[in-house]
Amino acid sequence: MSVPRIAPHVRPRTAWVAVLATAALIGACSGDGSGDDAAVAPNAGSDSSGVVANAAPDRVLSGPQGAVAQFVVECDFSHAAFDDPIVHPGVEGASHLHVFFGNVTTDAHTTVEDLVAGDTTCDQHLDRASYWAPALIRDGVVQTPVKSVAYYRAGPDVVPTTVEPYPLGLRMIAGNSEATEEQSTAVVAWACGAGSLREPTPPECPDQRNLRLLVTFPDCWNGTDLDSIDHVSHVTYSHAGACPDSHAVAIPQLQFSVEYPVTGSIDGLELSSGGLGTGHADFYNAWDPDRLAREVRNCLHRDVVCGVASGRTDG
């Protein structure tokens, strides 16, 4: 079934209702939480203003390939919705259009209990986390994602044995949905296929090398809050291989990649959040705690490249 065309110059939330219905058959986020309707998620801590030590990792990650200790999970596209359970919890249709991966139950009302009880599109079935990003549109037509890949590593120069698993229910946002200038490619970047070249805007990709959006999440947590009022202040990026005292717990650095069926010209492309520079992604942790702890222990602590869904065997 083809995705319907959207008339140009129509406000996205109104025009894409038909697209959403079709996407459900074939199948960030808002980001800053500054609007009056941006509710605070349950279990959110207070806004610890000024605690974010730096806005990006020290350097651009070299890419998914290489000898960096990691474990990897592939998750197929699940569904699309105008929902964001982090920025607009309980408010249906309050967000721009998102594409969701992993947990199939995610909607505006999602809680961690829902995720734990839900099914997943991920090849590691004990990863019931929810991942989402803005939809990519070409000339009014949603480009249904091919898949997503979640790469979990220690932050740059962070000692891998110091990394601790995420707490159940941790929520994170990376990237800026309201960016008006190019974002750091250490946080938000575009690439072709599995190549390591990172660019701030989508390149023209050759055949057989689909366009990918890559978003790198913070790797330091304050050890207390599963969320914060602005949805970013409870986590931050490490600097010079260390987490700041305010966020002393080193957690896996998630690099989330979304692959789109797009090659060649980028004419007519836009993100549902706005221009192509507004890339971002969200993560709501619902990994089985024992499984996640095993992945961290067997892969990161041992400084091993585990590949996809490494935890299929015990070690």
What confidence tens digit (pLDDT) does each residue in 237-296 have? 999 999 999 999 999 999 999 999 999 999 999 999 999 999 999 999 999 999 999 999
pLDDT tens for residues 125-142?
999 999 999 999 999 999
Half-sphere exposure of 150 (CA within 13 A, CB side): 31
Rounded to the nearest 5 percent, the helix, strand and coil shares of the chain are 15, 30, 60
Strand 70-75 and strand 305-308: the pairing is: parallel
pLDDT tens for residues 68-95?
789 999 999 999 999 999 999 999 999 9
- Report helix, strand or coil for 147: strand
Mean of per-residue pLDDT scores for the chain: 83
Largest Cα–Cα separation, the chain: 55
pLDDT tens for residues 101-131?
999 999 999 999 999 999 999 999 999 999 9
Query: What is the spatial distance between Cα 226 and Cα 224, in angstroms, rounded to a whole number?
Result: 7
Residue 23 has a pLDDT of: 41
8 A C-beta contact, residue 141 and residue 113: no
Looking at residues 182-189, what average pLDDT do you find? 94
